[in-house]
Structure 1
């Protein structure tokens, strides 16, 4: 696989397409309006509204460029079909053995990872350890604090 390939689920791809369309069709127009209003204030050398709008415009254009590049190199992850085995695109339910806490994650490519939304990357310590494991397996993952955390895979 090429190193510049961006792995995305179909849902993640669609989210990026929607974000890109929103930035191009809505946000760009809003910023252009802010710049126009700021220019009406006159001297732009000391115009904080103008500076702020131009900075926002630069940020949006950078994001548009990044999204276009990601979508250009995107490879859609096929729906994970190997029932009972963890793979890219799989939904995994695990239990922290020490704290008896159950968590649910979707295993996605790094570009789509968002732990706060339950999406972990296949290259993260937990994601990497989960890959290829089966229901009932006990795994150990190094925590940032340096100790190992044990999880049991409850469902895939």
Structure 2
């Protein structure tokens, strides 16, 4: 099943893949060759660290390649909707505290709470999908049930 991703998120994964292939991989290969030149590999911490780093880089390359193969870029430029859909930025008011929060619904790999980007597969994301301004949603958290009112839906270029 294809995984939705914004164009910006797709481009970021492609850029990371290019950096890993063109910069990080050659750098670690050079570090391994340099460590080998120091002789006995059985007690060579530099060699062990470089091999470990190489394993990480190769597994991350494989992971990104798999994600890109399964990705379905969703173009939200110029989009409008009166319901919450993938790519929407949603302003809500948490009913108990009356605090205003803003979330942008993105794909799993793009979610980043520092930037208020949540996955459409998260509990809040799933609860908001299909809602309209004025609708209320309940989200069950480990601590309590939180009720939000949807107060704005907009789309920003991503």
TM-score normalised according to structure 2 size: 0.89
Residue from 9, 13, 16 that aligns with 1:12: 9
Q: Deviations over 1:28-82 (max 9, x none)?
A: 1221222122112211111111111101101110110111111122101131734
Partner in structure 2 of residue 106 of structure 1: 104
Is residue 7–residue 111 contact of structure 1 (8 Å, CA) maintained in 2? Answer: no
Q: Which runs of 5+ in 1 are unaligned?
A: none
- Mapped pair 1:155 → 2:152: yes
The whole-number CA distance in structure 1 between the counterparts of 2:31 and 2:134 is 57
Residue from 111, 120, 135 that aligns with 2:118: 120
Alignment of 1:50-129 (within 5 A): 50-79=47-76, 81-129=79-127
Bigger shift: residues 120-129 or 33-42: 33-42
Q: Which runs of 5+ in 2 are unaligned?
A: 154-158
Is residue 95–residue 102 contact of structure 1 (8 Å, CA) maintained in 2? Answer: yes
Structure with bigger RCO (C-alpha 8 Å, 6+ apart): 2
Structure 1 stretches of 4+ moved >4 Å: none
Q: Secondary structure at the match of 2:149?
A: strand
RMSD of aligned residue pairs (Cα, Å): 1.5
TM-score normalised according to structure 1 size: 0.90
